[in-house]
Structure 1
Amino acid sequence: MKITKVFMFMVLVLLAIVVVSGCSEQDIVTETDAAQSGGEETKEEESRDEKNHFEKDDEQILNIMEMGALTLLDSVIAQDVGTFNVLNNVNEGLFRLDEDNQAIPALAVEEPEISEDGLTYTFTLRDANWSDGTPITSADFVYSWQRAIDPATESPYGPYMMTGTIANAEAIAAGEMEPSELGVEAPDDSTLIVTLERQIPYFISLMSFGTFYPQNEAFVTAAEDAYATNADQVLYNGPFKLTNWDGSDGSSWTMEKNEEYWDAETVVLETINVDVVTDPQTAVDLYTSGEKDITFLAGEFAKQYSDDPEVMEGQSPNVFYFKFNQLREDERTALANEDIRRALAQAYDKEDIVGKVLADGSMPANYLVPSEFAFNENGEDFRSINGDMLEYNTEAAAELWSQGLEEEGLDELTLELLGEDHNVAIELNEELKVQLEENLEGLTIDLKTVPFEELLALEEAQDYDLLHTGWGPDYLDPMTFLDLFVTDSPLNSMSYSNEGFDALIESAKGELARDPVARWEAMAEAERILLEEDVAIAPIFQMGTMSLKKPYVKNIVKHPFGSDYSFKWTYISGKE
């Protein structure tokens, strides 16, 4: 997911407080669920018995902060983690992640029926309503999914998530078929039939992702261009509904309990007040004064509060890295030279960066697929196959750098490093500049910092040399990281292409769907080619999270993919 997702650096201080393969058609669902148990602890340290027998306060109000404005709440258009976080709490799809990060039926009343060939899923919907009291029907899913794949909608995630997954999605996205020909149909109000292009071992995990939420056609059509631009122009079907929000400002909003939600009796919180606070000092001050219940720590604040009894630390599966743009303004760049890329990738000390700048539990990353994220049926971490790659090595980097410059006929090289204009991102990129210039003679790094939306536009246009970016997983499988870099991926945007890499990804998505061991090995080899052989990208760190949380805030559920957190099970207990 783009990290404001899939690339926003401020997620370092957002509320991120914190594989899978099927052996047979009937195993496609259960294998995914079983793999999730291999990850880190995903909820607060309280026993199930304590949680189910709590004493709640009379006032159930949570006060939190976000660092990015909420400007549009259209699940078909959403592409950043901040928006998906809100969507996850005010809406839901066929499945949702539960307290143990298992994908469980939500608007689907039970697990789907799966055809013998593993290509047809039949879902039965439960009786549930939109926030205005109108019934949710299978037609709402058909409309939303067709809207997401329609080229006219310009959905960032629709084609990416559906192509190669839902039947006919690729041809529709290319304008060769009509959206109505997408492999999804509603024979009646409570039945949804989905036809896949190929077997997808992680398909049920996908069904919890925001792009696959339903939308009410009559409501969306009536709202026209105003749809999802303020609280009154959205229908909600999740635990909460939005109030006091206008996308033209987006600096604050309120989530109130949705009494129309089918599982409303589970929801304890009545109100969640959210304010956008971009300055770390202000955020800490609001927490210490008692005005806010949670704040997020990085850099100097992480060091300052590391021993505070209210501090919470966690590991995130979000990985940050450099993208090397090999073609800019239709001309080959020096970054098309493998020796230059490899030199850059080994010329900065990741241990020093995470300790000096971040200090929030982030780990050096010598990989793309994160640690403690994807596990096979034997509980083995995907990371154990390739281990570390592109490790810090100044001597090797200097030799490769000299060799690469000679190959390009250069004595020196100036590269632009594009990053987001957030305090921590700026500080981190400044440190990277110092280390790269110090370790690679003749290198000059020009820092370019821009707002997130501009960064996305520059990336899409390939108007950059080096891009400091990152990705958070959309579903529970290594593929959510790997297929970003196939030749025709809309998220490649750096002119990297390797036929062998593409073939491995294609086989892992297709013919190997029923062979979990071979599929696992194919994805590992693809990662090795991407990093160790081609140095298409250069990993920097796997994100850690550090925050302060008031002890009376109980059971915020943290997720390793999709959105960051859920408030469905959160409650206030013991606030003085």
Structure 2
Amino acid sequence: MKWTLICTAWAALAMATPSLAATVAEGDKLAQNQDLTLRLLDSIKTLDPQLNSDTDGSTLDAQLLEGLYTQAPDGKLVPGVATGYDVSPDKLTYTFHLRPEAKWSNGEPVTAGDFVYAWQRLVDPKTASEYSWFLATMKVKNAQAVIDGKAPPSDLGVRAVDDHTLEVTLDTPISYLLPMVAHTPTLPVLKSVVEKYGDAWTQPGNMVGNGAYVLKEHQMGQQLVLARNPAYWDNAHTIINTVTFKVINDGNQALTRYLAGELDVGPVPTGQFLRLQKEHPEEAHSTPNACTYGYLFNVGPNGPAALKDVRVRQALSLAVNRDVIVKNILQGGQKPAYSWTHWAMAGFKAPDFPEAHMTQAERDAKAKALLKEAGFGPDKPLKLTISYNTDEGHKKMAVAVQQFWKALGVDVTLENMEWKVLIDRYGKGQFEVGRYAWCADYDEASTFLNYFLSNNTSNYGKFANADYDKLIQESATSGDANVQYDKAEAVLHEQMPVAPVYFYTSVSLVKPDIRGLPVQNVLNNWYARNVYRVAK
């Protein structure tokens, strides 16, 4: 997704002694307390997997629902509801075999029909999912036609051969289908529950899931509580009993509560990693996280006229002093970004653009020249508003960018708002420049590059480029997709629909008695069913 909230520590659970699943390592003695408490930066927009579009909701859904495949702590795919699959010689038909012991939390069996219903629901225009495009990028047959209203959902290339056999038909073979079926939009939902409760089906007492946990409590803006699901097929190997997510907007307050023992995983406020690493060397951790942070330009019909001039967008990007942000503000091992796709994606090499080797003075000089060419100067100052969600880290960076652009003569207004409000504004195109981040849905470069496709409903800046679309389409059947990926990155660099700022790391504080969290997964996906606590 993925949207991400910087310093949201629970999404950064990367550390600790390696442990696969919840298998207790030799020598580890289980603690009596097997509960887990973590921090959420903001309220969850939705727990509906077909309506979710952010990292926070995705992580919660991963505890409550289980797809065909999931991930081990090292990032490798492992069977979920599916025990395996067959693929046709032309690689257009995948047949997934579902485990008969998989059950919903109400005791009903999980069937292939539940996946068919969820996937059809995802692309059905009536659902109005911001992530409907995901099945189109998976190349599921007729997905785009259904999304466009040109075919009924029943024409989607997915069918239940029988209760335990799911058949998926593609328009075009792709090499990364399996990682995609581990992602949130493809999670199953129970039709009878969704139709009975409507929008309220994800409320405590209503929600029926097939994951290792069930939703016991959801106090909006305060906390969510998950409890073990006794009907989960692998409940015998689950150890953590209760997972509590506390909504704490202020990073410094969350840190205080972590140090007081209220949280088991805590945030590292912007700029404090080096200090905390020195003071708490066994608890402070920084690892690569496949997300890119930047400022999205609204080039759509609701965006300001100035941003439709590519010279303006190029100038604004050049003027962002990424070294100051990474070295002076963040200080958590992040890398400056002059391109979009995260460098840690499997098989991908980030492009090396000239700006990365210029001094900031040279970048600023070029930026001023571009703004002058575009007609902006002392007699006609450029005025813009940067929108960002409430968080001290986002604020510090927005203030820094405001100063960087002020040096160009740009008058910048800052506006912050709660996450749910910001996402709603983005969806309606009601912004000019927006603080933005995208995190990998799966470990392949297309997860970043698909974002700027013209038919991607999550492409809030409304960037559209026919050459770019063609490159991404060609990459699906290319002998070496990196050829098209490099050209696509070049288009983004030239057109600048977003000013990339830095590549993420996950910085977090984790109590030393916790085991089973991911240590090699650049996607930072994690499951509480893999976690346990050792006796101190």
Q: TM-score range by the shorter chain?
A: over 0.9
Amino acid at match of 2:245: V
In the alignment, the residues of structure 1 paired with residue 301 and residue 431 of structure 2 have an alpha-carbon distance, to the nearest angstrom, of 7
Q: Does 1:498 align with 2:498?
A: no
Contact 1:373 1:560 in 2 (8 A): no
Which residue pairs with 1:553 in the alignment?
514
In the alignment, the residues of structure 2 paired with residue 563 and residue 179 of structure 1 have an alpha-carbon distance, to the nearest angstrom, of 33
C-alpha displacement at 1:52, in angstroms? Answer: 5.4
Contact 1:313 1:545 in 2 (8 A): yes
Which of the numbers 289, 307, 312 marks the counterpart of 1:316? Answer: 289
Change (3 A) 1:273 1:50: closer
Which residue pairs with 1:149 in the alignment?
123
Q: How does 1:45-444 map to 2 (within 5 A)?
A: 45-46=17-18, 51=25, 54-70=28-44, 72-110=46-84, 112-127=85-100, 128-162=102-136, 165-228=139-202, 230-246=203-219, 249-307=220-278, 308-309=280-281, 310-329=283-302, 333-375=305-347, 381-383=348-350, 386-388=351-353, 390-391=355-356, 393-408=360-375, 411=379, 412-438=381-407, 440=408, 442-444=409-411
**Secondary structure of the corresponding residue to residue 274 of structure 1:** strand
C-alpha displacement at 1:319, in angstroms? Answer: 0.3
In the alignment, the residues of structure 1 paired with residue 532 and residue 366 of structure 2 have an alpha-carbon distance, to the nearest angstrom, of 57
Which of the numbers 457, 473, 485 marks the counterpart of 2:424? Answer: 457
In the alignment, the residues of structure 2 paired with residue 458 and residue 72 of structure 1 have an alpha-carbon distance, to the nearest angstrom, of 16
C-alpha displacement at 1:371, in angstroms? Answer: 1.7
Q: Does 1:539 align with 2:511?
A: no
Deviations 1:316-351 (A, max 9, x none): 111011222334537x72223333222221112211
The answer to which of 277-286 and 395-404 deviates more is 395-404
C-alpha displacement at 1:563, in angstroms? Answer: 6.6
Contact 1:15 1:66 in 2 (8 A): yes
C-alpha displacement at 1:80, in angstroms? Answer: 1.2
Which residue pairs with 1:482 in the alignment?
449
C-alpha displacement at 1:202, in angstroms? Answer: 0.8
Change (3 A) 1:448 1:58: closer
C-alpha displacement at 1:163, in angstroms? Answer: 5.3
The answer to which of 355-364 and 46-55 deviates more is 46-55
Indicate the RMSD between aligned Cα atoms, in angstroms: 2.3
**Secondary structure of the corresponding residue to residue 540 of structure 1:** strand
Gaps of 5+ in 2: none
C-alpha displacement at 1:300, in angstroms? Answer: 4.5
Which residue pairs with 1:13 in the alignment?
8
Deviations 1:17-49 (A, max 9, x none): 24xxxxxxxxxxxxxxxxxxxxxxx65344779
In the alignment, the residues of structure 2 paired with residue 484 and residue 552 of structure 1 have an alpha-carbon distance, to the nearest angstrom, of 39
**Secondary structure of the corresponding residue to residue 12 of structure 2:** coil
Change (3 A) 1:277 1:463: closer
**Secondary structure of the corresponding residue to residue 408 of structure 1:** coil
Contact 2:12 2:524 in 1 (8 A): no
C-alpha displacement at 1:422, in angstroms? Answer: 2.0
**Secondary structure of the corresponding residue to residue 387 of structure 2:** strand
In the alignment, the residues of structure 2 paired with residue 244 and residue 560 of structure 1 have an alpha-carbon distance, to the nearest angstrom, of 29
In the alignment, the residues of structure 2 paired with residue 75 and residue 82 of structure 1 have an alpha-carbon distance, to the nearest angstrom, of 11
In the alignment, the residues of structure 2 paired with residue 361 and residue 348 of structure 1 have an alpha-carbon distance, to the nearest angstrom, of 18
Amino acid at match of 1:333: A
In the alignment, the residues of structure 1 paired with residue 285 and residue 137 of structure 2 have an alpha-carbon distance, to the nearest angstrom, of 39
In the alignment, the residues of structure 2 paired with residue 280 and residue 129 of structure 1 have an alpha-carbon distance, to the nearest angstrom, of 39
The answer to which of 415-424 and 144-153 deviates more is 415-424
Deviations 1:488-525 (A, max 9, x none): 3323333433332222111012x32xx1x2x1111111
In the alignment, the residues of structure 2 paired with residue 238 and residue 274 of structure 1 have an alpha-carbon distance, to the nearest angstrom, of 17
Q: Does 1:520 align with 2:482?
A: yes
Deviations 1:83-115 (A, max 9, x none): 1111111211111111221112210112x1111
Gaps of 5+ in 1: 19-41, 376-380
Amino acid at match of 1:17: A
Deviations 1:121-152 (A, max 9, x none): 11111021111111111111111111111111
Contact 1:160 1:490 in 2 (8 A): no
Change (3 A) 1:238 1:482: same
C-alpha displacement at 1:559, in angstroms? Answer: 7.6
Change (3 A) 1:244 1:324: closer
Change (3 A) 1:114 1:388: same
C-alpha displacement at 1:420, in angstroms? Answer: 1.7
Change (3 A) 1:186 1:305: same
In the alignment, the residues of structure 2 paired with residue 108 and residue 259 of structure 1 have an alpha-carbon distance, to the nearest angstrom, of 19
In the alignment, the residues of structure 1 paired with residue 71 and residue 418 of structure 2 have an alpha-carbon distance, to the nearest angstrom, of 31
Contact 2:294 2:500 in 1 (8 A): yes
**Secondary structure of the corresponding residue to residue 222 of structure 1:** helix
In the alignment, the residues of structure 2 paired with residue 206 and residue 432 of structure 1 have an alpha-carbon distance, to the nearest angstrom, of 35
C-alpha displacement at 1:250, in angstroms? Answer: 4.8
Deviations 1:155-210 (A, max 9, x none): 11123333562111111111111111111111211111111121121100011011
Q: How many residues end up aligned between the 2 structures?
A: 527
C-alpha displacement at 1:408, in angstroms? Answer: 2.9
In the alignment, the residues of structure 2 paired with residue 339 and residue 231 of structure 1 have an alpha-carbon distance, to the nearest angstrom, of 50
